[in-house]
Amino acid sequence: MIVAGIGCRKGASAQDVEAALSAALNGAGAPTRAVDAIATSAAKANEAGIAEVARSRGLKFIAVAQAELEAAAARGVTTSARVLALTGVPSVAEAAALAAAGPTARLLVPRVAVGTATCALAFSGETP
């Protein structure tokens, strides 16, 4: 299973979210259909741009609780001081992807930033 973790600034457009997701998939050399779910922090669950991309791709949308983000954050590789100060985790995209993909998940692509959105890809199970 591959989960796309999404982070964004408030009001990020679906175009920015889609561009960040596409950039992460390109970085992985994966087809656009390779993603099984989109995840973000529970605090970002009402962001229309994220929800629109999940809906348009027909993907499961997962809102990750803060405690789960914090638990998964140690497995991430990117640290943004700004994001850490605002959210309590060094990368919302990486923490969300890892948390939603499960306790043994690993990053396939670390956080990629495009415009006002970020995306990281995590996988569980065998190497994709």
Instruction: Give the pLDDT confidence of 55-93 residue by residue, as tens digits.
Output: 999 999 999 999 999 999 999 999 899 998 999 999 999
DSSP 82: H
Residues 6 or more apart whose CB falls under 8 angstroms from that of 23 comprise 112, 114, 119
pLDDT at 101: 96
pLDDT at 43: 95
pLDDT at 126: 60
Does position 94 have pLDDT exceeding 70, yes or no?
yes
Q: Is residue 93 part of a domain?
A: yes
Does position 125 have pLDDT exceeding 80, yes or no?
no
Residue 21 belongs to domain spanning? 2-123
Contact 36, 59 (CB under 8 A): yes
pLDDT digits (tens, 9 = 90+) for 11-50: 999 999 999 999 999 999 888 788 999 999 999 999 999 9
Q: Report the distance separating Cα 20 and Cα 28, nearest Å.
A: 13
The CATH number covering residue 75 comes to 3.30.420.180
pLDDT at 128: 52
Q: Is residue 109 part of a domain?
A: yes
Q: Is residue 128 part of a domain?
A: no
pLDDT at 25: 95
Q: Is residue 116 part of a domain?
A: yes
Q: Is residue 65 part of a domain?
A: yes
Q: Is residue 55 part of a domain?
A: yes
On whether the pTM is more than 0.85, the answer is yes
pLDDT at 106: 95
Q: Is residue 40 part of a domain?
A: yes
Number of domains in the chain: 1
